[in-house]
Chain A
Amino acid sequence: MAALHDPVRRAVYEYVVSRGREVGRNEAAEAVGVQRTLAAFHLDKLVEAGLLEAGFKRLGEKTGPGSGRPAKVYRRAAGEWQVSVPARDYRTLALVLAEVVDVLGGDERAEEAARRAGGRLADRGEDLAQALRRRGYEPYEEDGRLRLRNCPFHVLSQEHPLLVCSMNLALCQGLLEGIGDDPARARLDPRPGECCVSLSINNEN
């Protein structure tokens, strides 16, 4: 986590993450407004820290001889990092509880609870994208909808996808109610590698 302390490095990290794709050194340098060598230094430090993954890719249109060597590109590392002092382990218990809900067939009750919890996560009148950002969803706009790049419940959703995705939808609907908006703006709209929910930007479905 100390790797993110430096403001330039943090900006570089946040830019790469916000793209949701591979980013080259030049692009990162331009986006953050620093020299290419400095951007490269921070990018490589982030790889060392395990926060980014590096690869090589031809960025131009040209292929074959004369197209130059592939450029070094960076994307967010697949692993996740959690810091808690003193040690806390909510994940193990959450997995056990999810299994209990499955065994009891209690998913409808779980969805109701998630919807109520969602209502408490945002303040009335708060900006929707801001509320989602605060909860770690990493929202971005695409084709008139807010899509969510990050699943805050990733580990759980891998073990119990149906339960967790349904609860997450209910949570987002509750969050919309919490800010005083129409819960029908959220719907299940999954894609590989992203959150399962998307939300309409304008209030029409």
Chain B
Amino acid sequence: MHLAQLNVARLRAPLDSPEIAEFVDLLGPVNEVSDAAPGFVWRLKASEDPRETVEHGYGDDLVINFSVWVSREALWNFVYRSVHLPVLQRRREWFLHMAEPYSVMWWIPEGHVPSLEEGMERLELLRREGPTPEAFTFKEFYEPGGGGEAGSAGGGGETGSAGSSEGRSGSSREAASLPAAAEVRK
């Protein structure tokens, strides 16, 4: 299985405005690092130009990143252990604070190229129901196959489906560390 991740960010000003110019200038170098990173599989691109952002029908002020990785570690190392981190640290200069979740992950079969609609539905699912095996986050991570969270040895080979998420996420909450579990239960 491969790990798909989608995140959205709401711009403070139009993409072609001077306030956002520095961010646009960083897109090229950061996307090049992403595409060359160990464990990178795929990224939704507007074109072969790494400076271009994805065009979509979800509003002009929304920037969308959508990529596929071989593992949690591969994605983590790009997001937090590469030149992407200093850019992420400056996010408030260009993007508005979002009260609801803006980043989601889920497992896909290898070779599957997910659609943007599929990704946005996963984000909606996360916002609606909280982390489940079908839509989760780094903090509330699920191993493939619908089993427990990271750290536990995966589930009993069951395949997660949207209908069964309720019961299963209940059991994996037990495995979560204390503060995180309290967060999920509230």
Contact = CB atoms under 8 A, between A and B. Distances in A.
Interface of A: 92, 95-96, 99, 105, 159, 161-162, 165-166, 169, 187-188, 190-193, 196
A190 B89 contact: no
Interface in B17-70: none
Contacts of B77: 192
A190 B89 CA distance: 12
Interface of B: 77, 79-82, 85-86, 88-89, 97, 139, 178-179, 183
A99 B179 contact: yes
14 contacts: A92-B179, A95-B179, A96-B179, A99-B179, A99-B183, A105-B97, A159-B139, A161-B80, A161-B85, A165-B85, A188-B89, A190-B81, A190-B82, A196-B81
B75 to A, nearest CB: 12
A162 B81 contact: no
**Is chain A's binding surface mostly helix, strand, loop or mixed?**
helix
Nearest to A163: B89
A95 B79 CA distance: 21
Contacts of A196: 80-81, 85
Nearest to B78: A192
Contacts of A165: 80, 85, 89
B14 to A, nearest CB: 24
B178 to A, nearest CB: 7
A87 B106 CA distance: 40
A166 B139 contact: no
Contacts of B183: 99
A184 B86 CA distance: 14
B179 A190 contact: no
Contacts of B85: 161-162, 165, 188, 190, 196
Given A95-B179, A192-B77, A187 B86 contact: yes
A123 B147 CA distance: 51
Contacts of A187: 86
Given A99-B179, A105-B97, A159-B139, A191 B81 contact: yes
